[in-house]
Amino acid sequence: MDYILRAIDKKIKKFEGKAEVKIYYQVRVEYAFYLLFSYFWNKNFEEIGITDFPKQDSIIQEIRKPLSIGAIASLIQKLDIKNELTKSQTTKNTGLELSDYAKLRNDLIGHGYSFEDDFQNFSDSFNRWYRTLLDLRIDVLSRKTDLIVCQNYDTIIQEYTGTIYDYEGDVRGNWKCSKEIKDDFEIGNIYASCEPNCYFRLSPFIHIEVEDDGLYVFRNIEQILLGKIRYNRIDKSDNNFTKTWDEFDDFCIIDDNYNRKKRPNGCIINIFYPNYKKYIEVGSIKEKVYEFLIGKERGSSVCMTLWRHGGNGKTATAQKICEELSLNEKKPFEFIVFFSAKDRELNKFTGKIDMINSENRITSFEELIKKLNLLLYSEDSFDIKKIIEEKSRLLLVIDDYETFEDVDKEKITAFIKQLNINYHKIIITTRNSFFKIGDEIQTNELDTTNTITFLLEILQNEHNYTPLQLKDIESEIKKGNTRNEIHKITLGKPIEIIRFVNCFVQKGKLSEIFLNDMRRANLRSERIEFLYGRNYKQIEGDKLAQDIFCVIGLLTPQDTLTSLLKHVKFILNKKEEDEALINSSLDKLVKLRLIEVDEDGSYKVDSKDILEIMKKEYDKRNEAFRSGTKAFYDRIKTNITADTDRALLSHTKTLRHQSNAETTIQQYREILKQGKEFSYDVKLEALLDLADFLFNHRGEKEFAVRLFEDYFDKFYEFEVLKRYSSYAWSINKEKSIKILEDFSSKHLSRNVTLTKNKKLHLLGLIVMRECLYWNDKFEREYNNKEKIKDQIQRISKNYGHFLIAQIEQVDISKDLSSEEVNDITVALENYVDAIYRIGKKNIAINLCENALLKFPERCHSRFKKKLDKLRGYRSSFRQSRPENYISELGEKLKSALDQLDIINLEPKENGYSGIILKKHIDSTKYGYIKYDSNQIKGRIYFREVSLINSSFNELKEGDKVLFGFGRINNVKYGAINMKTI
């Protein structure tokens, strides 16, 4: 009887008569088996190794396999070399074999403990077996036995201390035992004591966790290489507890056939050959990886990717980390595996590419899994699930990941995603960041300073340079531009620095001649192919990415290594709808570190060597691709530093004088059809240029006007309007006027805001075109003069007086441009002619006089001539009449001059005042308001609908009114919101 058996007996008593009791009968019997196994194992195993080595080897081979209760029974009998089991009279008489229990158990129960399964009531059978085992009279089972956990050793008093779990069920932490009694207690181990000064080791098959008094019995050896045992808990349902025991090191031999070795700390690592003699650390890459593996970032992800171009030290860094962690006393990982898919390497002496045999690398996902199974379990198996469920701490490095076929990459990625972040860590090295999984770290090239530091370290570590020799080399490096030249020659890549040093030590002198020799050697070497040659192949699944790769080779100047992405898209003739695809493909080139993309839309190739590869790949493309892209490139190459749209426009401008008209027109139209990649300003300029080319150079006036018709909605602004109206005037004067007046009435609704000057200019253009048109008709259409006069009245009312009012508000010489002054001058000239034709000579004269005061002197002659004509020449012959005689015609003229003109005001809801001048009571019910301000005087039209809160019939001439000005109906403007004061 011991503490654990007493605990089991309590459970049996607690559940007596219930179904739950059956399992505790089973637990008690099997605990007794494990107790016997522990006893004989610790007592006789080493002795068997001395007296019967083959037998010990067979026991070792058996224990390395999963152990059933039948296997335990068999091992008890093998370990009983002194026949203690057969000394019992009961056993001799019945001929009982311990393995008979396995048959009963397997037939009725199965393997493992379960506290929920329903079994038939065979409690008596289990009880009989338990009594039989007690009758064997093995002390640790049959006697009253205390269990002791040895926890510490006091070196001063030379005593072991720990916790005692006595057979009566008590737990005390005051156990002590002098070294003189037993000097081979092991800390953390459990011992059985039947009497004072007598101890039997039970570990590792029986275990007690002191922290929670957990009671455990052996379940199976989970990881034989690590000596890791999984336990079943007796007092609770728990089978997840594991513990590693160093004693298995003696018989868990690492077989060289599996290419692995066991470190002193118990870590198992596969055998690989580092690509360095002595690791030289420059920068903080290794520190970042450690942070991910065992530092603060260890819980962020299962996988980390080390990536960048070849030759930057990714492989060496990963190998060094594997070596260091495998020797770490804290044993952060129990298994460390380094696999490489690398199929070639750069010779560190010749710069040539050496191929790597397939037997020295991993070539597929299947091979990866099989080799993992061999290393972890010594099994030739493709069992993925077993690896995924492995709860040993595993670090797996997969080097040169991009070398795998795409289908294998997908399988590896899926496999990694199933791993357990609590137990597994993966490091992937690759040249391509679009292959990255999990977290990522870039391994950049070394700068100039670190390049020299690395170079000196190699001389010291690999070539045994003395401090004095190193000092001399440093002095040579500091001369002139030598340090920068070394950096250019080596590209700042560790692999190239090593090759540089290997060549230097053969020369022994760092001279300009040697540097030139290295430059020539690099031209003969295969380093560019090794470092960058596979980049094009690695994007073969994306044809657009390969097209971009080649076009960058065509487009990019070697001196700057930079150009614009817009140029690339133009050369490939890609449109707005292709934007997502282009960005996706560009992203692959960025992730390959072939180019960097700036926010301003420019890109930069990472190095001249990469650009050389791009140019070579472009030259390899078929004739159709090269001729097509070259044609687009030629259109922008002369302005390559400008934006694509500006470069293309500049090229098209040159075609106006050098190429046929159809080509010029076509290329202008291509610019106009481009999407948002081409700026509005460039497309606007192209529109005006093309219109000018058609109108002035080709004389195709109708085509020029039609061009504006097609694009005016897209370029709805004043500058286009002026040209559009001007060109339309030459073929259809009424259309030209309509274009201007439509713009005047609609520009606000189109969210086009005009400055004060542009509003004045627009009015001037309308008045100029209207007056030119109707003045010409007045002279040519004699019979329609009255109708034409009505039109001139309309011009005066709707536009003329507004033009005059706005002219009064500006300083013409200072505020207006030459173009604006010229157009307004012509408008005013023609307006003067027009109002003269409707009998407003005095107003015409007044306008000319004011113009002489306000307009620049260069305009004066025009208005002076106009003024002289208006004042006229008197005839030398006059008919004699009384001095005060006024003819009938004179009376009519005087009456007409006394009348006020009908005018329009600036539209607004209210704010004007006047006097009712006249009202006409007929079916239309309209009238006029006399309006007189400092600047404007005239009649304002109104109708009955203009009134609010007033009756038209009650309105009297002479009444004072307040009003606004605006549209009364679809065709008439006049007073609105009108009310009497």
pLDDT(90) > 60:
no
The residue whose two tokens read 């009694």 is 181
CATH number for domain 900-980, candidates 3.30.300.30, 3.90.226.10, 3.30.70.2740, 2.40.50.140:
2.40.50.140
Q: Which CATH architecture has domain 535-623?
A: Orthogonal Bundle (1.10)
State the Cα–Cα distance between residues 687 and 62, nearest whole angstrom: 90
Residues 6+ apart with CB under 8 A from 530: 310, 311, 344, 346, 353
> Does the bond joining 204 to the residue before it have cis omega, within 30 degrees of 0?
yes
- CA 355, 357, 359: angle at the middle one, nearest 5? 160
Confidence bin at 668 (pLDDT 50/70/90) = very high
pTM of the model: 0.60
pLDDT(435) > 90:
no
Burial tier of 980 (Cβ tally within 10 Å: 0-12, 13-18, 19+): middle
State the Cα–Cα distance between residues 21 and 27, nearest whole angstrom: 10
418 φ, ψ to 5°?
A: -90, -10
Residues 6+ apart with CB under 8 A from 669: 690
pLDDT value of position 67 = 79
State the Cα–Cα distance between residues 159 and 878, nearest whole angstrom: 156
How distant, in Å, are the alpha carbons of 309, 363, 416, 440, 590 from that of 432? Answer: 8, 18, 18, 11, 9
Out of 65-74, 310-319, 721-730, 802-811, which region has the weakest mean confidence (pLDDT)? 65-74
Tell me the sheet residues that pair with 201: 191
Q: Which amino acid is at 276?
A: Y
- CA 14, 20, 26: angle at the middle one, nearest 5? 100
State the Cα–Cα distance between residues 655 and 669, nearest whole angstrom: 13
- Closest Cα partner for 38 from 140, 107, 187? 140
State the Cα–Cα distance between residues 671 and 689, nearest whole angstrom: 11
DSSP structural state of residue 68? P
How many C-beta atoms lie closer than 10 Å to residue 606's C-beta? 19
How distant, in Å, are the alpha carbons of 1, 25, 235, 237, 716 from that of 9? Answer: 10, 9, 11, 17, 98
615-642 burial code (b ≥16 CB/10 A, e <16): bebbeebeeeeeeebeebbebbeebbeb
Residues 6+ apart with CB under 8 A from 975: 912, 929, 940, 941, 942, 946, 961, 963, 964, 965, 968
State the Cα–Cα distance between residues 481 and 813, nearest whole angstrom: 63
State the Cα–Cα distance between residues 99 and 70, nearest whole angstrom: 5
pLDDT value of position 883 = 42
208 φ, ψ to 5°?
A: -125, 130
Residue ranges of the domains in the chain? 3-141, 144-246, 256-442, 448-531, 535-623, 754-874, 900-980
In the chain, what is the straight-line distance between the N-terminal and C-terminal CA atoms, in Å? 122
pLDDT value of position 262 = 82
State the Cα–Cα distance between residues 714 and 704, nearest whole angstrom: 16
492 or 894, higher pLDDT: 492
pLDDT value of position 252 = 52
Residues 6+ apart with CB under 8 A from 449: none
Question: Cβ distance 167 to 193 under 8 Å?
Answer: no
Residues 6+ apart with CB under 8 A from 506: none
Question: Cβ distance 283 to 450 under 8 Å?
Answer: yes
Which tokens in the block code for residue 913? Answer: 């005042």
The residue whose two tokens read 């309590």 is 10
pLDDT(894) > 70:
no
How distant, in Å, are the alpha carbons of 52, 70, 74, 243, 250 from that of 59? Answer: 11, 14, 10, 21, 13
State the Cα–Cα distance between residues 359 and 714, nearest whole angstrom: 67
Measured in whole angstroms, how far is the alpha carbon of residue 218 from the centre of its chain? 51
Q: Do domains 535-623 and 900-980 have the same CATH topology?
A: no
Out of 94-108, 153-167, 838-852, which region has the weakest mean confidence (pLDDT)? 94-108
Confidence bin at 434 (pLDDT 50/70/90) = low
Q: What percent of the chain has pLDDT over 70?
A: 92
Q: Which amino acid is at 727?
A: Y
Number of helices (H) and strands (E) in the chain: give both, helices first: 38, 26
pLDDT(464) > 80:
yes
pLDDT value of position 886 = 47
State the Cα–Cα distance between residues 607 and 561, nearest whole angstrom: 7
State the Cα–Cα distance between residues 341 and 315, nearest whole angstrom: 11
DSSP structural state of residue 710? H
Confidence bin at 875 (pLDDT 50/70/90) = very low
pLDDT(719) > 80:
yes
Strands 268-270 and 926-932: unpaired
Question: Cβ distance 317 to 392 under 8 Å?
Answer: no
> 256-442: what CATH class?
alpha beta
Q: Which amino acid is at 334?
A: E
State the Cα–Cα distance between residues 23 and 419, nearest whole angstrom: 35
State the Cα–Cα distance between residues 487 and 451, nearest whole angstrom: 6
The answer to whether the Cα torsion of 339, 341, 347, 348 is positive or negative is negative
Out of 84-88, 218-222, 557-561, 977-981, which region has the weakest mean confidence (pLDDT)? 84-88
Question: Cβ distance 375 to 270 under 8 Å?
Answer: yes
- What are the pLDDT digits (tens) for 601-650? 889 998 888 999 999 999 999 999 999 999 999 988 888 888 888 888 88
State the Cα–Cα distance between residues 346 and 400, nearest whole angstrom: 14
Average pLDDT value for residue range 913-941: 84
Which tokens in the block code for residue 258? Answer: 């599996």
Average pLDDT value for residue range 241-246: 86
pLDDT value of position 239 = 79
Confidence bin at 154 (pLDDT 50/70/90) = very high
To the nearest whole number, what is the mean pLDDT of the chain? Answer: 87
How distant, in Å, are the alpha carbons of 560, 635, 647, 654 from that of 639? Answer: 15, 9, 5, 12
